[in-house]
């Protein structure tokens, strides 16, 4: 027998499941606040759904195999191609813009490292059928609000925003053509991780550039402010309208009061191949972790996968880095007990009364537990504390005769007698939950 889960896969013990559920609850709440509807798709998909458009990196990480019917299939590594296929199927009938979210478990055979596993859950929010920058701003705001909902502030994380249309125009102005631009994106993407000398060398090799040209190309990724962006665009004699969507998106976020959370960063190009416009990533402010979230505009994907030409933008936020951040900042949920009431039978003759009462209380929606074998009162109370119950309810012969119970508050030790009928009727206190 294997004593551990596969590398990169998690066993969710109750504590971890509590945090996971809390993340799911926040994801659903924020998506609802923005008017998004939930959908889902199959975890196993035709392999070609990903080989067509997702890009080399993710294809190299696929869990892919042949099924018993001889079909080439893959566990889903991301949700966007499934979404594009689903929307394309019903595109005519769906009211635009389509606002959909989902929370799938995804699988990527990655090199395991901090914040990167071989399975993760990912909130996806996507807005389809709207090409303007207010749609991009809407999604960026939703991503920020998810992280804010965990009590994190602008001191803890930042959204870095860029636009592939601008990056492409700047690179083209440096004389780069299609495949060279793709090669440049790959190196610019690593700017904050690898030494610049290495990136220059890589770029000279992959894009066949001279050293000074490679260095100038990499400098595009160093643009980190609106002023620097405007200057670069004017120096390269690029149509100033190219930057308008990005600037409008940032202005919209400022109008929402979120200016402190966003920064221009032209080194954000995103690893997936299908992005066509504004792209963004959320990072912890100290940048000690991998991205919490990444997304952007992918206006050509629905056409490529389903023959329907609709603009689209969206993001994916994983549970792994978010969970680490929430835990690190001490925002993980306080441990609450699994039960409200622990029923204690004083003698073995009281057990049937305890069973009857437990069932009535559970019918009334209370969270109830009792000892599953005859035990001393002291042992039962110890178990009640270990289960973090808020109250112990003692039933002995006297209590039975009077149809009442002795209710002990386990935090304060305070005791009071209560009629059984009142105990069953009394609503569960919010503090108990
Ligand atoms: P992605 O950047 O590949 O984008 O993933 C989005 C987020 O998922 C990452 O920022 C990270 O938090 C999490 N994530 C990805 N891979 C792993 C992993 N191996 N372990 C833990 N967490 C991971 C996408 O998947 C796009 N489909 C998102 C999107 C939706 N774009 C438009 N709509």
pLDDT tens sequence across 39-48: 999 999 999 9
Q: Is 321's C-beta closer than 6 angstroms to any atom of ligand 1?
A: yes
Q: Which pLDDT value is given to residue 334?
A: 58
Contact in structure between 72 and 84 (CB atoms under 8 Å)? no
Residue identified by tokens 């299609």 is 178
Contact in structure between 203 and 217 (CB atoms under 8 Å)? yes
Q: Is 318's C-beta closer than 6 angstroms to any atom of ligand 1?
A: yes
pTM value surpassing 0.85 = yes
Residue 17 CB neighbours (<10 A): 11
What CATH superfamily classification does 341-432 receive? Anticodon-binding domain (3.40.50.800)
In the chain, what is the greatest distance between 2 CA atoms, to the nearest angstrom? 95
Residue 84 CB neighbours (<10 A): 26
Contact in structure between 85 and 306 (CB atoms under 8 Å)? yes
Q: Which of 122, 290, 292 to mutate to test the pocket of ligand 1 (most atoms within 8 A of CB)?
A: 122
Q: Which of 271, 294, 297, 305 to mutate to test the pocket of ligand 1 (most atoms within 8 A of CB)?
A: 294
Q: Look at residues 380, 323, 250 and name the one whose alpha carbon lies nearest to residue 22.
A: 323
Q: Look at residues 148, 147, 84 and name the one whose alpha carbon lies nearest to residue 306.
A: 84
Q: How far apart are CA 152 and CA 334, in angstroms?
A: 16
Contact in structure between 80 and 50 (CB atoms under 8 Å)? no
Per residue in 138-196, pLDDT (tens digit) is 999 999 999 999 999 999 999 999 999 999 999 999 999 989 999 999 999 989 889 99
The ligand 1 atom at the shortest distance from the C-alpha of residue 292 is: 12
Q: How far apart are CA 105 and CA 295, in angstroms?
A: 17
| Torsions phi, psi for 96 (to 5 deg) | -100, 155
Q: How far apart are CA 32 and CA 42, in angstroms?
A: 23
Separation of CA 120 and ligand 1 centre (Å): 9
Q: Which pLDDT value is given to residue 328?
A: 85
Q: Is 274's C-beta closer than 6 angstroms to any atom of ligand 1?
A: no
Q: Is 294's C-beta closer than 6 angstroms to any atom of ligand 1?
A: yes
Q: How far apart are CA 405 and CA 392, in angstroms?
A: 10
Residue 429 CB neighbours (<10 A): 10
Query: Which residue CA neighbors atom 28 of ligand 1 most closely?
Result: 316
Q: How far apart are CA 196 and CA 217, in angstroms?
A: 12
Query: Which residue CA neighbors atom 30 of ligand 1 most closely?
Result: 315
Is the N-terminal amide bond of 97 cis, ω within 30° of 0?
yes
Q: Is 291's C-beta closer than 6 angstroms to any atom of ligand 1?
A: yes
Structure tokens at 343: 């029923």
Query: Which residue ranges make up each domain of the chain?
Result: 14-41+76-328, 341-432
User: The domain 14-41+76-328 is classified under which CATH number: 3.60.110.10, 3.40.50.1860, 3.40.50.2300, 3.30.930.10?
Assistant: 3.30.930.10
Q: How far apart are CA 345 and CA 351, in angstroms?
A: 6
CA geometry: angle 210, 193, 183, nearest 5 deg: 40
Q: Which pLDDT value is given to residue 1?
A: 63
Query: Which residue CA neighbors atom 6 of ligand 1 most closely?
Result: 316
Q: Is 306's C-beta closer than 6 angstroms to any atom of ligand 1?
A: no
Query: Which residue CA neighbors atom 13 of ligand 1 most closely?
Result: 318
Cβ-count burial 260-269 (b if 16+ within 10 Å, e if not): ebbbbbbbbb
The ligand 1 atom at the shortest distance from the C-alpha of residue 108 is: 19
Q: Which pLDDT value is given to residue 427?
A: 65
Task: Return the beta strands (E) in 289-400 as ranges.
Answer: 293-297, 312-318, 341-345, 368-370, 391-395
Average pLDDT, the chain: 92
pLDDT-flagged residues of the chain (< 70): 1-2, 330-336, 427-433
Task: Return the beta strands (E) in 113-256 as ranges.
Answer: 119-128, 157-163
Q: What are the residue ranges of helices labelled H in 5-79?
A: 14-33, 48-51, 56-59
The ligand 1 atom at the shortest distance from the C-alpha of residue 270 is: 2
Structure tokens at 79: 């949700």
Which burial class, exposed, middle or buried, applies to 60 when counting CB atoms under 10 A from its CB (0-12, 13-18, 19+)? exposed
Q: How far apart are CA 187 and CA 137, in angstroms?
A: 27
Separation of CA 288 and ligand 1 centre (Å): 17
| Torsions phi, psi for 339 (to 5 deg) | -130, 155
Q: Which pLDDT value is given to residue 430?
A: 42
Q: How far apart are CA 349 and CA 220, in angstroms?
A: 80
Q: How far is CA 432 from CA 147, 371, 380, 387, in A?
A: 27, 20, 20, 13
Q: Is 119's C-beta closer than 6 angstroms to any atom of ligand 1?
A: no
Q: Which pLDDT value is given to residue 433?
A: 38
Query: Which residue CA neighbors atom 26 of ligand 1 most closely?
Result: 316
Q: Is 292's C-beta closer than 6 angstroms to any atom of ligand 1?
A: yes
Contact in structure between 294 and 269 (CB atoms under 8 Å)? no
Q: How far apart are CA 328 and CA 349, in angstroms?
A: 50
Q: Is 78's C-beta closer than 6 angstroms to any atom of ligand 1?
A: yes
- Residue 283 belongs to what H/E stretch? strand 278-284
Question: What is the CA 222 to chain-centroid distance, rounded?
Answer: 28
Q: Is 293's C-beta closer than 6 angstroms to any atom of ligand 1?
A: yes
Q: How far apart are CA 75 and CA 43, in angstroms?
A: 6
Q: How many CA atoms lie within 13 A of 411 on its CB side?
A: 9
């Amino acid at each position: 027998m294997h004593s551990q889960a596969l590398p990169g896969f998690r066993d969710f013990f109750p504590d971890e499941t509590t945090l996971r559920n809390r993340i799911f609850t926040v994801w659903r709440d924020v998506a609802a606040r923005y008017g998004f509807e939930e959908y889902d798709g199959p975890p196993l998909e035709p392999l070609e759904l990903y080989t067509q458009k997702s890009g080399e990196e993710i294809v190299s990480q696929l869990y892919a195999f042949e099924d018993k019917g001889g079909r080439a299939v893959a566990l889903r590594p991301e949700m966007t191609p499934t979404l594009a296929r689903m929307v394309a199927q019903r595109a005519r009938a769906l009211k635009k813009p389509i606002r959909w979210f989902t929370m799938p478990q995804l699988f990527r055979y990655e090199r395991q490292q901090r914040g990167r596993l071989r399975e993760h859950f990912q909130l996806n929010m996507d807005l389809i059928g709207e090409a303007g920058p207010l749609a991009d701003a809407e999604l960026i705001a939703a991503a920020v609000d998810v992280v804010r909902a965990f009590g994190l502030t602008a001191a803890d994380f930042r959204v870095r925003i860029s636009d592939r249309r601008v990056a492409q125009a700047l690179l083209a102005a440096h004389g780069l053509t299609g495949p060279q631009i793709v090669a440049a994106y790959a190196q610019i993407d690593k700017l904050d991780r690898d030494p610049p000398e290495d990136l220059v060398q890589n770029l000279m090799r992959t894009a066949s550039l001279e050293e000074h040209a490679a260095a100038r190309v990499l400098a595009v990724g160093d643009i980190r402010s609106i002023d620097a962006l405007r200057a670069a665009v004017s120096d390269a004699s690029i149509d100033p309208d190219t930057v308008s969507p990005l600037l409008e998106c940032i202005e919209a976020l400022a109008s929402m009061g979120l200016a402190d959370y966003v920064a221009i960063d032209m080194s954000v190009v995103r690893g997936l191949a299908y992005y066509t416009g504004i792209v963004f990533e959320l990072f912890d402010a100290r940048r000690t972790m991998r991205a919490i979230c990444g997304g952007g505009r992918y206006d050509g994907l629905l056409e490529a996968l389903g023959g329907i030409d609709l603009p689209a933008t969206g993001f994916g936020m994983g549970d792994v880095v978010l969970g680490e951040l929430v835990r690190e900042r001490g925002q993980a949920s306080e441990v609450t007990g699994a039960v409200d009431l622990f029923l204690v039978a004083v003698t073995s003759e009281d057990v049937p009364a305890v069973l009857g009462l437990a069932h009535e209380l559970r019918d009334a929606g209370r969270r109830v537990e009792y000892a599953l074998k005859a035990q001393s009162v002291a042992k039962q109370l110890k178990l009640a504390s270990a289960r973090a119950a808020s109250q112990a309810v003692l039933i002995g012969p006297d209590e039975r005769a009077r149809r009442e119970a002795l209710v002990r508050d386990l935090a304060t030790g305070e005791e009071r007698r209560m009629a059984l009928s009142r105990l069953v009727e009394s609503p569960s206190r919010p503090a108990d939950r």
